[in-house]
Amino acid sequence: MTNFIIVHKPSQLIKTTYTASTPPVLDDDHSYHVASSAVLDRYYKLVIKARRNGVLVGVGDLAAVSPSFLESLKDSNKG
């Protein structure tokens, strides 16, 4: 099984996570990024903090604490 992080492109907010053997089917407003367990652990820590403030986690927030997630964002923008 592979972990994915689903991002709402217009807002750059992380919408949810998804675990499956195949990538999710998404529309034009969403993208997905493969995420390791370490990236998900960092994401869930950010979610706990964000919920206290009534906000969602943005891709920039996760990229700031996870170099591998930052690399996946750079790779998805190539081509």
Q: What percent of the chain has pLDDT over 90?
A: 81
Q: How does residue 79 score in pLDDT terms, banded at 50, 70 and 90?
A: very low
Q: How many domains does the chain have?
A: 1
Range of the domain at 16: 2-76
Q: Give residue 25's pLDDT.
A: 86
Rounded to whole angstroms, the Cα distance separating 48 from 43 reads 9
Q: Is the pLDDT of residue 75 over 80?
A: no
Q: Give residue 45's pLDDT.
A: 96
CB-CB contact of 57 with 16 (8 Å): no
What lies within 8 Å, CB to CB, of 12 at 6+ separation is 58, 59, 60
The pTM for the full model equals 0.87
Q: Is the pLDDT of residue 21 over 80?
A: yes
User: Pairing between strand 2-8 and 13-20?
Assistant: antiparallel
Q: Give residue 77's pLDDT.
A: 63
For the sheet with 30-35, list strands across it: 13-20, 2-8, 30-35
